[in-house]
Structure 1
Amino acid sequence: MRTECSVLLLLALVLVLTGLVQSFHPLFVFDGNSTTHRDITRMAVLQKTAEACRDIAAADGRDFTLAIDESLTAERVQEACSSSENSTSLLSSVLFHSSITNLYLSNANVDLVSVLSDEHHFDGETFQKGRDLITQGVSSVKASVKRENFIAGRWTLGSVCHTLQDFYSHSNWVELGNTSPYSALITPDQPLENLAGLNVSTCRNCTGQSCDNNILPDVLQQGLLTSGYFSILSPEKPEGKCSHGGAFDQTSIRDPVGGINKDDITSSHGSLHHQAANLAINATLELLEDIRIAVGDKNFLRLMGLSQSAVLCFVIDTTGSMSDDIAEAKRVSFDIIDSKRGTEQEPSAYILVPFNDPGFGPLLTTTDADTFKANINKLTASGGGDIPELCLSGLQLALTAAPPSSEIFVFTDAPAKDAFLKSTITALIESSKSVVTFMLTDVLASRRRRAINQADAQLYRDLSRASGGQVIEVSKADLAMATSVIEDSSASAVVNIFQAASPGKPDNFTFTVDSSLQNLTVYITGAASLTFNLTSPSGGSQSSGESAGPLASLTSAGNLRRLSLNNDNETGLWEIKVDSNDPYSVKVTGQSSVNFIYNLVEAREGVHSDFFLKESRPLSGGNASLLVTVTGSDSVKAPDVTLYDSSGPTEVNGTIRSLGGGNFLVTFSDLPAGDFVVRLRGHDSSSLTKSTPVGFQRQASTQLKTSSLSVTAQANNTNIEPGSTVSIPFTVATTTGGVVNETANGMFAVRATNDRSFDSSAPSSVTIEEGNGGKANGTVTLTAPDTATSGTDVTLTIEAEDAATTDINYVVLRFSVGAKATDIKGPVCQGLSTSTNCTSSPCAAAQWEFVANVTDGVNGTGIESIALREGNGTLNMSTLVGPGGENITVVSYVASCCARRVQLSAVDNVGNVGFCVGQVRESATVAPVTTAPVTTANVTMNVTSTGGHTLTTSCGLWITALLLPLWK
């Protein structure tokens, strides 16, 4: 009974203190100048991304002039990394900003789901367990990148960075006088040395309010590594040990009292905060470099989200009547690929999901255009005749595979057999903010058994509206005219200016055009009887009957009207007047470098009150907070951010707090029930000096829905080993005014689905009973099959619905499959020989050679790649089998004597990295029998593992073979 009570007490404390943080502040510091996990991660990502771009530019013979320092911004890095110096296409940093944001939100999430885990924060001298978390996480990141699952890799990387960064705040590494990172933390085959034993006292009481000298002198003199103990439940800790410190740390009130953390400038060792933060930045850089070497520069940039263009994503019905549609999907995708190949507008990735009945998939995700071409070429229309098809199952795969804010195009001529997935698809749309457009052919075609009636089509309309997409209904003959929307979406820097959907009534809509916008396009979908009138700021007008009017050129296909505004677009307020009593939608897009992204965040109280990512709907009647980032302009100072509901119309104003760097925290109070979109308006401060400053307007595509249900779930471990099962506890509650209604009761339907069809169990319902505080608990299990490959990602959606099926909320969780690493040793250099005749002059007339035998050992996973990290000579490789049966790669490097240093990196098949360095040195001596000087060339071989250990040997010219254990 006591154990059960302790568990309940612990769970209660976790729920109360879910914002409890014992680390660098996760995201924001509103007082003082402390450095946060967000700052550390952002600076390291920008610097390492810039370094990768610099090295790619050097290899391509291009200039790279960006100074890599603390002043880097996403926009400056994006521009410098542009591969085409003469490119006229607009640059957009939206995808890069989104990826960086995902990294630091994942980083912060560790303080939410692993708040009481010592190893996640290196508390209580858990150095081995903390290191295991890092190295297993890095292994998972590399496996994800290998499978091109960059989203999963990014999410795992963020959490790994949190644990690594906390080491420098929570341990005494800084107090020991270290000025460089502890490289053994990212190298599993390196020993963790000089750890303070369990029985070794490490601290003494703080003196008054000062804890500057509370670490024992003997610990510092002997260089013993320790970290503070932390507990919110009990003051117990090993005798003589340091505490973390702070108001929530109960161990800090027991001798030795005080703490040693450096989380901010007011912490126990706050005077060392900035030193710890700088070391955390350098350690994150070292971690990113290890991953960069393992995956290669191009894949590293994809992991960082550096891309000018979105993905090309098709979900295609492959039943017998779809041959025309498949042919058109091939044509338009091939046109996009062939016209953009080699340019900055080439899609960053290609996603293809076929579906029919009874199957869907397999999912294809690739960055290789030819692979995508080959797979879409294989699609054939066969079978079918009956309806419906598994459309939503295919769409679910695409939504979880595509990067956030992607455009997804679904081709079908049949209703969805799996309409029960509607709420799951809606949840994934809201979570990913991806736009889904349905290309429906031959709706209500009476000549065919396969037909989509209006009720069937409404499902697609509801999903497209939730995402900000469109439902385009055309005949198969007119499909080619409608797919122009796909080509429009593949342009660079596409922004959404305005969007609204009407249930069917005449209405007027206005939108603002600013000077940064180019190639404006207006899309209107609706019944054939729909008419409209477009009016410019100067009063010019064009009606729906004019295909080539003074304001735009108009093309029509099925229910779609596409207006391409003339090149001499006027800035200011435009108006569209639509006359229709049937449902219709209006969407206005353009191209501009100025855009914005947002994430729903939730305030949590604790040691460091902060905000964390909220992956569910905001509560009606409560408060909602958005983290908004304006991209492409540093002169947007104070935008107006609102939540807009066009069906009302209702507009809710937010309170804005600037966080610097184009970031804003926007808070909405007493949020009414409804479906909203985020709208950003304001003035670019660069235009305020003009006599008539022009405003700008951008609108998010995805709807933001409110709910009176609260669904929360936390997975303590987001990595699943093949064949293992994870349990995810969840809680459902009803709320009033955004607060849990403790007197409520009732039954709620529960659904748990995952995109990989992994075995899963969940209760079909939960019941809130009287006296339970208005909450009901349940557990979902998820099992990865034995055959699951490392690097596979899986997205789990848990939904709760009230009995009247009028209110739904959800939570979205992401997991990565990763087998426990068994090969933790990097490649080994078993033999080395050098030869040189660098005594000649000029240096270009002579060469030197460096030879190494590289192996991953008999029990290793094998050498995947060997690359030239430094040097401009010629690298040749061959393979042979060693005496122990191991595969050996013989590496030969030949270079001019003008370039006298080489560094090689070797990567094995699970991403372990090793380095080998060769260098020619000259020393002058005088021969005893002549008066002329004689130059002797010496070669120095350095070998460095990712653990940072270096061995150096100097050899004379006449020594031609050396055997050294170079890689550890």
Structure 2
Amino acid sequence: MLSLVALVSLIILILDNGVLGFLRFSKDGSKGHFDITEEAVLETTLQVCIDVANTEGQNVIPPPKPLTTESVAQACSSSGSESFHRAKGDMKWKNVNVDIIHFFNPEYHFDNEEFVRGKKVITDGLAVVKYKLKQGNLEDAREKLGSIMHTVQDFYSHSNWIELGNKLPHLSLIRSDLSFGNVADKSTPTCQSCVDDDCHNNILQNILRDNILITGYFGQKSKPMGKCSHGGLADLTSRIEPTGGINKDDLKSSHGFLHATATDVAKAATRQLLEDVRSFAGDRTFLRMMGISRRSKAMCFVIDTSVSMSEDIAEVKRVASVIIDSRRGTANEPSYYILIPFNDPDFGPLTKTTDPDIFKAQINSLTAGGGGDFPEMSLSGLQLALTSAPPSSEIFLFTDAVAKDTYLAGTVLALIEQHKSVVHFLLTGSFGERRRRSGEPDQASQMGVLDPQLYRNLAQASGGLAIQVTKAQLPEATSIISDSTSSNLVTLLQAVRNHGKADHFSFLVDESVTNVTMYVTGSFPSFTLISPSGVSQSHRVVSGSLATVKTVGNLNTVKMIKQVGLWAIRMDSSEPYHLKVVGKSVINFLFDFVEETQGPDLGLSILNTRPTSASNTTMMITVTGSDSLEVTEVVLVESSGAQEVNGSVEPLGGRSFLVRMGRVPVGDYWVRLSGVNSSRVRAAPIIYRRQSSTRVRISDFTVMAVVTCNSDLSPEEPLSVFFTVSTNGMGGHITIQATNDRGFTSSFPTSLLLEAGTSAKGTALFTASTNTPMGSDVTLIVEVTAPGPADSPALQRDC
């Protein structure tokens, strides 16, 4: 059966009609929303770092302009630039997505003289940002902040603020206690007709003389008599008297001669918005929201607390204590400490803190008890971890039992893909031998849960390891926790073979890589390591000239002695295995699948579903760690086979690259990137290669959800979620399951008819309970099971 999952938390409305504001990306000398946001974030973040350093008696030498992500991260003494890239990208994508989601909502663009409603978008949004910051939800706060930036920036392109001679931002935009001042009413004429280059002086003189604030009208078939239009090909009102427009979206716009001034003031206004958030949050929290931290990854434990886990819990306490005490005040100190216990029927509560002593106290308070019927609520605990931990976290789940809540497998897999987090399973005891309570049905046997294959599948999808050891061996296996939570961890190679056979692999170690470690999980795998110089070492050699090998349970850990160059691994196993090679390096990459839309600029938006085999596959790649990195090759590598799909690479500036793959066959893939680093003076460029930790899925099916009302969910008022399931393959009757993570009342069709090569549509209704606190988040999940071969879920990401 084919399972598809839609995760919805905000409005999703995909349109294809150009833009309503500044260009999304720079073009022909014009600046877009990406550029304005990028510059404002870099400048503000650097200033905060300088101010923090000054209060600590330190001195920060500002990097040369133009500022870059790498130079600002280095000036801020951040543990790396990857999280800064990710945070900045979150805000930029949420910014440009406003043009897609709210294309026909004029208040989001200050069109149609919607001053009151436009300002409300900003001030209400700013209130949400501050509420999220107060809750400690930094990821949601910065995403909401990015969407507000769009409306703030559009004000300076769509109004006559610049034409009135203003060189500074309008302070009232972000202040609910201030009014706009002298604004035009609906009956006041504002423009005279103009054509193309004659539009420089189309605003009526009395409007300018009396300092009256106006905006253009957009997109409608009619407008009030005498009003200005936005202008441009997509604006139908610009053909109605008075013709022409006043927007300053780019240099070729109706008022493009003021484009540079508008972007400068829009950037200043964006900085003003950021400073307001900084003032509320405080410098340290603001920097963490921006991905600037002197700490490493989050340390996240999901722990089975059932009665048989006493030894395991004691080991978790020991490991956590060692890591906390050894990393205090260092670059490897975790950015967050997250703890989620589970057994049956309970899971939680969640502990998420930056204070190691609070975390220690919570872990030390754990006790083992209950859970005597074998399966536990492990996936419920893991789901909570995935929605609570920062993106790209490393999560460690400890259990000696299989999952009772297997119905969450599709949702958990979708969350892994969405957040690109790595999940390691530390499995102890003999699975299937723990006995049920007397007199109860043998649930384990009925569900086929004697084999922890589900855990292996989830681990492999995330790029994590499913480690099976005895309880006595667990202390030997927990070194994986310390290794995996260190800063600047990169993946050099990853492969899964579900049917053991002889195979060869290679990986490249460049000069920036240290601490190279190979992990192999499987039953008695045979392997030979071959160095760049041709020297080989068998897995039977525990301590050799190339590496030291340690085996515990099904985990083989190979700590390698560094040699720069191309290494080879010869594998020979009759059983399935998972191979992963990691190292430490500042050079890494981020990726997202995107879709190209029609419009006057390069129209890119984050793909809200998994890529399908029926359409061209396009990716946005951002390399991190140096301003001298180039990308020469991007390949999708089949995770459990030898198939590779090459893409064409197009530089976009700012260490970002557009990769077009064409159509990719259905399957699971790792993303592999190769490139050069030309930062060294008078020396040959360094060749580097990296691979993604989490794998991606190309599917024949997609599921898309569309929320048609405001993203605010009011108690006792149903929220409609329209979803569409499309297929390029076979059809048939599909079953629907709609859930949410807060237990809200829901109704939905239980089945739909899907014809081959077509789409099927359905609607789910959700109603919030009356006692839901204001500002609460809810994740709506629509799961679709359709006829076809076994497959993993397709994901509809939130917008």
| TM-score exceeds 0.5 | yes
Equivalents in 1 of 2:516, 2:566: separation in Å? 14
Q: Is the contact made by 1:122 and 1:167 (CA closer than 8 Å) also made in structure 2?
A: yes
Match of 1:37 in 2: 33
CA distance in 1, matches of 2:497, 2:237: 60
By how many angstroms is 1:606 displaced?
3.3
Q: Does the 8 Å contact 1:799/1:811 carry over to 2?
A: no
**680 and 292 in structure 1: CA distance in 2 versus 1, 3 angstrom threshold:** same
- Matches of 1:368 and 1:758, distance apart in 2: 33
1:541 equivalent to 2:536? Answer: yes
2:598 counterpart residue number: 605
Deviation at 1:548, TM superposition (A): 1.4
The alignment partner of 2:631 has SS state of coil
The alpha-carbon deviation at position 536 of structure 1 amounts to 0.5
1:73–1:755 Cα change, 3 Å:
farther
1:576 corresponds to? 569
Corresponding residue for residue 23 of structure 2 = 25
Tell me the residue number matched to 1:616: 609
SS of the residue 1:248 aligns to: coil
- CA deviations over 1:467-503 (Å, ceiling 9, x no partner): 1111000111111111111100121211111111111
- Matched with 1:844 is none
**In the alignment, is residue 594 of structure 1 matched against residue 587 of structure 2?**
yes
Amino acid at match of 1:530: P
Query: How many Å separate the matches in 2 of 1:727 and 1:813?
Result: 17
Alignment of 1:13-162 (within 5 A): 17-26=15-24, 28-29=25-26, 31-67=27-63, 71-82=66-77, 91-162=79-150
Please identify, of 356-365 and 162-171, the stretch whose mean Cα deviation from structure 2 is larger.
356-365
Residue type at the aligned position of 1:220: L
Which of structures 1 and 2 has the larger relative contact order (alpha carbons within 8 angstroms, sep 6+)? 2
Superposed CA deviations along residues 263-290 of structure 1, whole A, max 9, x for unmatched, are 1111111111121111111111111111
TM-score (norm 1): 0.77
Q: Which whole-Å CA distance do the structure 1 matches of 2:550 and 2:669 have between them?
A: 30
Q: Deviations over 1:339-367 (max 9, x none)?
A: 11122221111111111111111222222
Q: What is the distance in 2 between the residues matched to 1:250 and 1:481?
A: 69
Residue equivalent to 1:861: none
Whole-angstrom distance in 1 between the partners of 2:291 and 2:767: 30
Secondary structure, aligned partner of 2:779: strand
User: Are the aligned partners of 1:152 and 1:814 in contact in 2 as well (CA < 8 Å)?
Assistant: no
CA distance in structure 1 between the aligned counterparts of 2:221 and 2:797, rounded to whole angstroms:
34
Q: CA deviation at 1:445?
A: 6.5
Once the 2 structures are TM-superposed, how far is the Cα of residue 807 of structure 1 from its aligned partner? 4.8
Residue 149 and residue 791 in structure 1: after superposition, are their counterparts in 2 closer, same or farther (change >3 A)?
farther
Change (3 A) 1:447 1:159: closer
Taking only the aligned residue pairs, the percentage that are identical comes to 48
Residue 697 of structure 1: aligned partner: 689
| Amino acid paired to 1:131 | K
- How far is 1:72 from its partner? 1.6
Q: Secondary structure at the match of 2:251?
A: coil
Instruction: Tell me if the contact between 2:631 and 2:674 (Cα under 8 Å) persists in the aligned partners.
Output: no
Letter in 2 for 1:558: G
- Asked if residue 244 in structure 1 is aligned to residue 240 in structure 2, the reply is no
Counterpart AA for 2:34: R
Judge conservation of contact 1:400–1:795 (CA < 8 Å) in 2: no
Match of 1:343 among 301, 319, 330: 330
Secondary structure of 1:275's counterpart equals helix
Partner of 1:640: 633
**Are the structure 2 counterparts of residues 435 and 16 from structure 1 closer, same or farther at C-alpha, using a change threshold of 3 Å?**
closer
In the aligned structure 2, how far is the partner of 1:507 from the partner of 1:703? 20
Q: Is the 8 A contact 1:709 1:809 kept in 2?
A: no
Cα RMSD of the aligned pairs, angstroms, is 2.2
Cα 1:759–1:78 shift into 2, 3 Å: farther
Tell me the distance in 1 between the aligned counterparts of 2:732 and 2:231.
Answer: 44
What amino acid sits opposite 1:788 in the alignment? T
Residue identity opposite 1:508 in structure 2:
H
Q: Partners in 2 of 1:665 and 1:19 — Cα distance?
A: 21
- Whether the 8 Å CA contact 1:144–1:792 is kept in 2: the answer is no
Counterparts of 1:596 and 1:522, CA distance in 2: 20
Task: Determine if the alignment matches structure 1 residue 471 to structure 2 residue 469.
Answer: no
Match of 2:777 in 1: 793
Alpha-carbon distance change, 208 to 506 in structure 1, aligned in 2, over 3 angstroms: closer
| AA at the equivalent of 1:309 | S
Does 1:261 pair with 2:241? no
Task: Check conservation: 2:512, 2:585, Cα contact below 8 A.
Answer: yes
Larger Rg: 1
CA distance in structure 1 between the aligned counterparts of 2:127 and 2:203, rounded to whole angstroms: 35
Q: 1:92 deviation in Å? A: 2.0
Paired AA for residue 472 in structure 1: I
Q: 1:447 to 1:169 in 2, by over 3 A?
A: closer
2:3 aligned residue: none
Kept in 2, the 8 Å contact 1:17–1:606? The answer is no
Equivalent residues in 2 for 1:216-235 (5 A)? Answer: 216-231=204-219, 234-235=220-221
Deviations 1:549-598 (A, max 9, x none): 111122221100111112xx111111111221111111111111111111
Contact 1:176 1:220 in 2 (8 A): yes
1:436 aligns with 2:420: no
- 1:152 Cα deviation after fit: 1.2
Q: Secondary structure, in 3 states, of the residue corresponding to 2:414? A: helix
Matched-pair contact (CA < 8 Å) for 2:608–2:798? no
Task: Give the counterpart letter for 2:585 in structure 1.
Answer: S
Specify the SS of the correspondent of 2:543: coil
How much has 1:456 moved relative to structure 2? 3.5
Q: Secondary structure at the match of 1:472?
A: strand
Query: Is this contact kept in 2: 1:396–1:755, CA < 8 A?
Result: no
Q: Which residue pairs with 1:781 in the alignment?
A: 765
Which of 316, 319, 330 aligns to 2:303? It is 316
* Contact 1:261–1:267 (CA under 8 A) maintained in structure 2: yes
Matches within 5 A, 1:952-963: none
- With over 3 angstroms needed to count, the CA separation of the structure-2 counterparts of 1:557 and 1:807, relative to structure 1, is closer
Q: Is the 2:703–2:725 contact (alpha carbons within 8 Å) kept by the matching residues of 1?
A: yes
Q: Once structures 1 and 2 are overlaid, which stretch shifts more, 104-113 or 589-598?
A: 104-113
Mapping for residues 430-579 of structure 1, pairs under 5 Å: 430-444=417-431, 446=433, 456-503=451-498, 504-527=500-523, 529-566=524-561, 569-579=562-572
- In the TM superposition, residue 422 of structure 1 has moved relative to its aligned partner by 1.2
Q: Which deviations, in whole Å up to 9, do the C-alpha atoms of 1:84-116 show, x marking residues without a partner?
A: xxxxxxx42111111111111111111111111
Q: Supply the distance in 2 between the matched residues of 1:49 and 1:58 (Cα, whole angstroms).
A: 14
- The partner residue of 1:424 within 396, 403, 411 is 411
Equivalent residue in structure 2 for 1:717, among 694, 710, 720: 710
- The number of residues matched between the two structures is 777
Alpha-carbon contact 2:701-2:725 (below 8 Å) kept: yes
Question: What is the SS of the residue equivalent to 1:79?
Answer: helix
Distance 2:238 2:330 in 1: 59
CA distance in 1, matches of 2:132, 2:114: 27
Is the 8 Å Cα contact of residues 373 and 435 (structure 2) preserved in structure 1?
no
Note the 1:753-902 alignment, pairs <5 A.
753-768=739-754, 774-804=758-788, 806-807=790-791, 810-814=794-798
Letter paired with 2:699: S
Find the partner of 1:273 among 249, 259, 263. Answer: 259
Residue in 2 aligned with 1:361? 348
Give the secondary structure class of the aligned counterpart of 1:570: coil
1:298 maps to which residue? 284
Compute the displacement of 1:52 (Å): 1.5
Structure 1 position 524, deviation (Å)? 0.8
Cα separation, 1, equivalents of 2:173 and 2:35: 21
Deviations 1:501-554 (A, max 9, x none): 111222121101000001111111111x32211111011222111221111122
Secondary structure class of the residue paired with 2:472: helix
- Structure 2 vs 1, CA of residues 758 and 62 (structure 1 numbering), >3 Å: closer, same or farther? farther
Q: 2:172 aligns with which of 178, 184, 192?
A: 184
